[in-house]
Amino acid sequence: MSTVGKDLLNIQALSKLGYGMYIIGSRKGDRLNAQVANTLFQITSQPPTVAVSINKSNLTHEFIHESGVFTASTLCQDTPLSFIGRLGFKSGKETNKLEEINYRLGETGAPIVLDNATSFMEVRVVKEIDMGTHTIFVGEVIAADVVSEEACLTYSYYQQVKRGTTPKTAPSYVMEKKEAPPVKLAKYRCSVCGYIYDPELGDPESGIKPGTPFEQLSDDWTCPICGATKADFEKLEDQ
Ligand code: FE
């Protein structure tokens, strides 16, 4: 048996934890908001209790804190990056994130997002745990249903297969990752959300075939996650 040194702290170890991808909705009076979160988990089955960790700088945090209610929708594996981008990388402080999104109000008045959902639950907060940058909201599930039997989107599928990115406010955000081995065509990074356009892979969701250089993308091409323009992309020098 080997022992681990006391000073060994490789934060990358935490990236091996498994998560799902969820839309968390809440309200404050008549105002509604929703955001993406990966840190939702079940705590007990009787009564059915879940918890979610939310960054204090997010508008949804203020709404959950004020109203004491939130909803959660589990997402299907085919959820488009643009849908996650709209709810995950835009702030509800500036835009109405729920515009053009299919949702209905639950019995608590909080919005339940139905687009791309495989299930939803409505939760009444019973406890808040202050964790510095984040608050853990613990709550009892008061309503829930399954929407579809499609496979659910996991955080690792989102990151590794769909190549989605994570905002700095997410609990699981880790600093800059090392990029894959050198390639001939230059990669470009979105300065808004961190998405990396890799010409080897193209952007299939926008109809861009693998092998298309960034320079050949049309001027109206936008970031598949956050919708930023081509001009918002920076060439990755170190590859
Ligand atoms: Fe982007």
At residue 62, the pLDDT reads 98
At residue 237, the pLDDT reads 82
Distance 43 CA to ligand 1 centre (A): 34
The answer on pLDDT for 188 being more than 70 is yes
Distance 196 CA to ligand 1 centre (A): 8
For the segment 146-168, what is each residue's pLDDT rounded down to a tens digit? 999 999 999 999 988 888 888 88
At residue 91, the pLDDT reads 80
**Alpha carbon of residue 28 to chain centroid:** 21
pLDDT tier at 170, thresholds 50, 70, 90: confident
At residue 3, the pLDDT reads 66
At residue 238, the pLDDT reads 66
Phi, psi for 119 (deg, rounded to 5): -160, 170
pLDDT tier at 20, thresholds 50, 70, 90: very high
At residue 90, the pLDDT reads 78
DSSP state of 179: P
The whole model's pTM is what? 0.82
**Residue ranges of the alpha helices (H) in 22-174?**
59-67, 81-88, 155-160
Distance 62 CA to ligand 1 centre (A): 25
Distance 137 CA to ligand 1 centre (A): 29
For the segment 64-90, what is each residue's pLDDT rounded down to a tens digit? 999 999 999 999 999 999 999 989 887
The answer on pLDDT for 183 being more than 80 is no
Distance 73 CA to ligand 1 centre (A): 23
Distance 89 CA to ligand 1 centre (A): 8
Distance 194 CA to ligand 1 centre (A): 6
Distance 86 CA to ligand 1 centre (A): 10
Of 134, 66, 137, 147, the closest CA to residue 104 belongs to: 147
Distance 187 CA to ligand 1 centre (A): 14
The answer on pLDDT for 129 being more than 60 is yes
Tokens coding 136: 């853990």
